[in-house]
Chains A and B, each alone.
Chain A
Amino acid sequence: MDLENQRRIKELAEKYGAENVVVILGGSEAEAAGLAAETVTAGDPTFAGPLAGVSLGLAVYHIFELKDQIDEALWDEHISMMEMVLDVDEIISEVSSIREQYSQYK
């Protein structure tokens, strides 16, 4: 995960409390989305950024997991194209499995 994003997420969690922060991912690939999910829960697995060795345990979801929470017209306008293009099941399975393992707030 981008180092600058790691820094921002760490700051937000410190400011508002980890229990009050939900991370919504938009990654287009299961492995990359899984790594991002791991970074904001267990810590940066590449040990490169501000979240190296920092386990925030944040609640983390991929946008594809939240379809029923989002206005249908907005979904159609912004997400439906990518829904057709990406491997939705694989992404959801990867992100949800990381969440089950490492999120302290679900």
Chain B
Amino acid sequence: MNFPVIKATAYALVHAPNILLEHGTTQSMELAKNPESEYLKKLPSHLRSYEEVVAYPPNQTYIGAIRPDDLAKMPQPWYENRVEKASRFAKYGEIMPEDEFYALMKIVDAFDLVRLEKSFVQEVKAKLVQHPLFDENDLARLGEGVDLAEIEKVVNAHTAEALRLGDRLVGSVSQAHDSDLALTSHIMYENLAAKASATLVLRHLIKNSGIDPLEIDYIVECSEEAAGDMNQRGGGNFAKAIGEMCGLKNATGSDVRSFCAGPAHAMVYAAALVKAGVYKNVVVVAGGATAKLGMNGRDHVNKGMPVLEDVLGAFAVLVTENDGVNPIIRTDVVGRHKIGSGASPQAVMSALVTDPLDRAGISIKDIDRYAPEMQNPEITVPAGAGNVPEANYKMIAALGVKRGDLERNEINNFVAEHGMPGFAPTQGHIPSGVPFIGPGREMILEGSIKNFMIVGKGSLFLARLTNLFDGVTFLVEKNPGLQAQVADSSVSADEVRRLIAEAMRELAKSLA
């Protein structure tokens, strides 16, 4: 069979400590209920500087400077063991500072909702001029800026959200309607942050892949927000809005949502569209979620550690027709949590991991690496949520024991050999399997592994429409080369002809 390939990947983070303070839901709920709380007082002293965030080993892993296997060897806590001479840019993307990100929110704003203060515009323009992915047209979109008084006026009137750098007010995001609850300043802020971070990562993807943006046919967007108005709250469409900012003039696109499983669904859509021949080049892209910033901040502050959920995450993947080189997406080895699968962890993992492998006759041990939810354990363990990737690896191993693929005393070895440490920020959709597509693709290309499985899971019950869980998996494998695949398909065509002939003979016999 001729499978689609993963041509390129991109990953980006945005340092967002001030966004965290006002727009992370843990903080915004506390601000509304208990503005004088001890937590809110202590929080600012637990925020990290940009330099600390850049030098944080899991962040360097996310943008491709460190391999997950090398992160595993680094001493913990990682936040006390910085990467020496860490760089903002790495091969998959970058870690953008908050001031430049505010400028990016203005650049991607199509409805004059973002105001930036004049002197801030001058300062940030001088920085963005240096950025390899922003040109004169982008900088022109920043305009000249407005007087601080104008920003203060809309913020004080509560028709706009503030953009701050510490105590300094540098801009605002206005509501897009005076009474539509789907277009409030808060929602526009979230949506513009998602659009801006997705734009950043998509530009990195275009650079990383070398593809002409005009050759991209379709965009599947899978971030966490809902764009729409009161008559259709999730109407869409982030995909085209983001593509427009990256010059994808020949593309259209749409948005896919399934809580944290969204990106895995999106990857399967992209692979299917290419496999079916509908489109040749499909991009999967997601921006970051402001709501999740500082989600476990209370636990981090209580435990005297830095608040580690201080970055927005974004990723993009280019899926194309088979080039005979890049790793293939096995569209015939896709796992799905079915409506009737059941909700116990065992039922979920069976549906996602062993069912698709069984159908393809592949053993659990035949998969070199599994990439389940790759949450950074340094974030989740202090919050009582455990080491999420490790728990997933143990579950897969335990399933293997039950099936007789491995012995019980092999569980720990299996975890070490087929797993890796979590390195993604807890942005919901961002950790969900996809952070490993970049390093996994490279490891296959260099021959250190032959395949990996992406495991995306989502908690649908959070929307209170169903108690169901969700999940999707797919297998990525070394490309056997175009000729080998053609040979394979000719053999199977002969086989099909033989089977049909046999069936016809049987039929003739039965009629005689």
Contacts and interface: CB of A to CB of B under 8 A. Distances in A.
Interface in A48-84: 77-82, 84
Interface residues of A, number: 14
A96 interface: no
A105 to B, nearest CB: 26
B345 to A, nearest CB: 5
Given A77-B344, A81-B346, 6 more contacts: A28-B386, A32-B384, A32-B385, A79-B346, A81-B399, A85-B391
Contacts of A31: 384
B408 interface: yes
Nearest to A46: B298
B342 interface: yes
Nearest to B343: A78
B384 A84 contact: no
A85 B386 contact: no
A81 B345 contact: yes
A85 B384 contact: no
30 contacts: A4-B464, A28-B345, A28-B386, A28-B391, A29-B384, A29-B385, A29-B386, A31-B384, A32-B386, A77-B347, A78-B342, A78-B344, A78-B346, A78-B347, A80-B346, A80-B402, A81-B345, A81-B349, A81-B402, A82-B344, A82-B345, A82-B398, A84-B394, A84-B401, A84-B408, A84-B411, A85-B391, A85-B395, A85-B397, A85-B398
B132 to A, nearest CB: 45
B398 A84 contact: yes
A35 interface: yes
A106 B21 CA distance: 44
A28 B395 CA distance: 12
Interface of B: 342, 344-347, 349, 384-386, 391, 394-395, 397-399, 401-402, 408, 411, 464
Contacts of A77: 344, 346-347
B342 to A, nearest CB: 7
A74 B308 CA distance: 40
A35 B402 CA distance: 31
Most A CB within 10 A of own CB, among B349, B402, B464: B402
A81 B398 contact: yes
Contacts of A29: 384-386
B268 to A, nearest CB: 25
B310 to A, nearest CB: 23
User: Which of the listed residues A35, A80, A85 has the most CB atoms from chain B within 10 Å of its own CB?
Assistant: A85
Contacts of A78: 342, 344, 346-347
The 7 closest A-B pairs by CB, nearest first: A84-B398, A78-B344, A81-B346, A85-B394, A81-B398, A32-B384, A85-B398
Interface centre among B384, B385, B397 (most CB of A within 10 A): B384
